[in-house]
Amino acid sequence: MNSQSEEAAAKAGVVIRELREIDEFRQVYRLFDDIWHPDPGNPPVTVELMIGFAHTGNYVAGAYEGDTLVGASVGFLAAGRSLHSHVTGAVMGRGIGYALKLHQRAWCRERELEKITWTFDPLVRRNAWFNLVKLGARPEAYLEDFYGQMADAINEGDASDRLLAVWPVAPEEALTARPVPSPPEAYPVLLESEGERPVVRGTLGDVVRVGTPPDIEKLRARDPAAAKAWRKIMRTVLGGLMSAGGRVAGFTERGEYIVMVKELFH
């Protein structure tokens, strides 16, 4: 592994390694169960599938603090010399997830893969910040209800719309977001919060800002109708812009996607 990956792991106080044994996969299963509290019939990944992935040269890795598993990531080789990162979960607030992603990136580079893909909920602000700003990945597609209904404590009761993130692994690619042409405040706001409800404002420009709710997971529990309104309008606004050729160029500290519309690319 490279120095960036090792430094991130050391900073997080963990050792990251590939997993091979059944007991290790069972630890991953229990960790993910603690994070997502899924219905028994809807685990993020089964022990049997992890066994199969690891046996056939795919990516199954864990972050250990001593003998305790505190993070894990599971991915599989995909078309176009890529790894699809199916699920990653870790104890929050310590940089373990970041260290796992750098380990994953180094693993791909060693195998001469070109990119890593994964999906994330466009309404989860902290994940958008992590993926677009911390890592410098870019969404390339808006996927409506990608997983269908998900029976877990985080996603239950909501449609599973996702953004497909693409992260190049070439050494020259930066690990942070590429700069946006102007200060974000210069762009009109197309979608923002009014209280806890989404409101469409302004007119469409060459570059627009598309806001997100501060914490969609808490909002789902507190006001399911408001959460569903956010899902519907995000699908219409962000999904519509991307379907028309718009590209997500960044994410602001206020929790807004910066979208460059189609006209800029002709």
pLDDT tens column, 169-226: 976 555 555 556 567 888 999 999 988 899 998 777 889 999 999 999 999 989 999 9
94 and 207 in a single domain? The answer is no
For residue 179, tell me if it sits in a domain.
no
The enclosing domain of 142 has a CATH number of 3.40.630.30
Q: Which residues contact 87 (CB under 8 A, 6 or more apart)?
A: 32, 44, 45, 73, 74
For residue 109, tell me if it sits in a domain.
yes
State the pairing for strand pair 59-65/15-18. Answer: antiparallel
For residue 133, tell me if it sits in a domain.
yes
For 87-142, the pLDDT digits (tens) are 999 999 899 999 999 999 999 999 999 999 999 999 999 999 999 999 999 999 99
Residue type, 77: L
Q: Which of 112, 143, 168 is the last residue of a domain?
A: 168
**CB contact at 8 A, 73 and 61:** yes
For residue 161, tell me if it sits in a domain.
yes
Give the span between the Cα atoms of 266 and 245, in whole angstroms.
11
Residue tagged 């985080």 (tokens):
154
Provide the domain limits for residue 193: 184-265
For residue 177, tell me if it sits in a domain.
no
Which residues lie across from 72 on neighbouring strands?
62, 89
53 and 110 in a single domain? The answer is yes
Count of structural domains within the chain: 2
**CB contact at 8 A, 62 and 28:** yes
Kindly report the pTM of this predicted structure. 0.90
**CB contact at 8 A, 191 and 171:** no
